[in-house]
């Protein structure tokens, strides 16, 4: 059983965590949208009274979430990571050349500056050395295209021993592998972004690794509190006419659609499983839709200082302001930070991070909107004449 220090006991009390539980922090991928996640983490640390690395037993992350997770495991506070994150973003998203383009002449960006920035912060510390430094177990996701399988860069200390295959891997190398998103960046040899797998939200993989594999015996399924933080999700609505005749090349349209939706669907499925009776852990998910409907639910904070949009308050954000905030859209960096701050204010009013942020009747995320179009399509799909009259 985990022995808590007085500071950890206070953190557990403030966050309403059972003292017999181990804490897993899981962070989604999402490019520059990671700045939204950091607003939540700063508030969690403020409530706890100590940094995440001092009360979390394990961190897991994909892509931008893995960058944050790795820095937590290294011993950085959320506020320190935010400052480093801002530096990384300004150095990462620099065009590889004037002709660089994701689809015509990929990759769009050069990782040289990012690699150098990571080395300046982390040096050549290994996963094992990182674990020995802070005591935080970790899991970082990537995709091995040569062996065609997900790769989990794990490092767990169990009874004083660390036996993981990648324990001697450099932390900065792993943190580069997980963010090497195709068309945006070159692969790290055989490894590409973990967000290309079903684990852009790494929660389920983290739980399985903790209780069944690397952390077996240390973590128990019914004695875990998991904080799962999203980076904001896009709710894409394609009309039947748009689906039949997309704007621009069909391949370009559907490639982007499938890449976005497959990751989001996998994340939603994991969340549904966690909220079902199948699992007994204390699960706390915090996610938001990046659309006007969700903005209306947030505190109407002042955003007049943000030059990328015309709105003066959160409620004034338009569809054009919010649509298509891609992982490399640095122009929306300050807006994403403001949305994260407003989301934090909402959570503080609702539950102060002490429980799951879900709509109890539907078991869906409270700040993730849906269209609920079943009633409209249900009578049509039952009619033979309707389907017979559709284009084939």
Distance CA 76, CA 322 (A): 31
Distance CA 92, CA 117 (A): 9
Q: Which of 193, 321, 356, 365 is catalytic?
A: 193
Instruction: Name the token pair of 29.
Output: 């991928």
Query: What 3-state DSSP class applies to 184?
Result: coil
Q: How many CA atoms lie within 13 A of 361 on its CB side?
A: 0
The yes-or-no answer on residue 345 being catalytic is no
The yes-or-no answer on residue 250 being catalytic is no
Q: Which of 26, 28, 57, 63 is catalytic?
A: 63
In 229-287, where does DSSP find H-type helix? 240-244, 250-275
The number of beta carbons lying within 10 Å of the beta carbon of residue 109 is 21
What's the angle, vertex CA 33, arms to CA 32 and CA 35, rounded to 5?
85
Residues 24, 224 contacting (CB under 8 angstroms): yes
Give the catalytic positions in this structure.
63, 193
């Amino acid at each position: 059983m985990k022995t808590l220090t007085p500071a950890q006991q206070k953190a557990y009390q403030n966050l309403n965590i059972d003292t017999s539980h181990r804490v897993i922090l899981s962070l989604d991928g999402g490019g520059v949208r990671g700045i939204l996640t950091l607003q939540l983490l700063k508030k969690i640390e403020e409530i706890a009274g100590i940094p995440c690395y001092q009360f979390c037993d394990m961190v897991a992350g994909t892509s931008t979430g893995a960058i944050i997770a790795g820095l937590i495991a290294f011993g950085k506070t959320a506020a320190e990571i935010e400052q480093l994150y801002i530096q990384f973003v300004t150095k990462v998203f620099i065009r590889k050349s004037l002709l660089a383009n994701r689809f015509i002449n990929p990759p769009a960006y050069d990782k040289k500056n990012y690699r150098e920035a990571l080395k300046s912060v982390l040096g050549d510390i290994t996963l094992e050395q990182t674990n020995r430094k802070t005591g935080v177990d970790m899991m970082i996701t990537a995709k091995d295209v040569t062996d065609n399988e997900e790769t989990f860069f794990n490092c767990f200390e169990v009874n004083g021993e660390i036996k993981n295959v990648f324990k001697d891997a450099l932390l900065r190398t792993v943190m580069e592998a997980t963010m090497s998103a195709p068309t945006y960046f070159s692969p790290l040899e055989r490894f590409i972004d973990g967000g290309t797998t079903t684990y852009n939200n790494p929660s389920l993989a983290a739980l399985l690794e903790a209780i069944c594999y690397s952390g077996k015996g240390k973590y128990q399924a019914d004695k875990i509190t998991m904080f799962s933080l999203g980076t904001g999700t896009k709710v894409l609505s394609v009309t039947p006419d748009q689906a039949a005749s997309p704007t621009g090349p069909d391949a370009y349209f559907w490639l982007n659609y499938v890449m976005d939706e497959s990751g989001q669907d996998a994340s939603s499925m994991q969340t549904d499983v966690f909220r079902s009776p199948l699992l007994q852990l204390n699960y706390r998910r915090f996610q938001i839709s990046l659309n006007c409907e969700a903005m209306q639910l947030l505190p109407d904070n002042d955003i007049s200082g943000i030059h990328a949009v015309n709105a003066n308050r959160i409620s004034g954000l338009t569809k054009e302001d919010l649509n298509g905030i891609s992982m490399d859209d640095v122009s929306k960096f300050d807006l994403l930070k403001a949305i994260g701050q407003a989301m934090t204010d909402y959570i503080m009013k609702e539950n102060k991070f002490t429980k799951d942020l879900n709509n109890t009747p539907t078991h869906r995320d409270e700040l993730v909107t849906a269209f609920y179009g079943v009633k409209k399509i249900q009578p049509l799909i039952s009619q033979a004449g309707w389907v017979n009259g559709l284009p084939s």
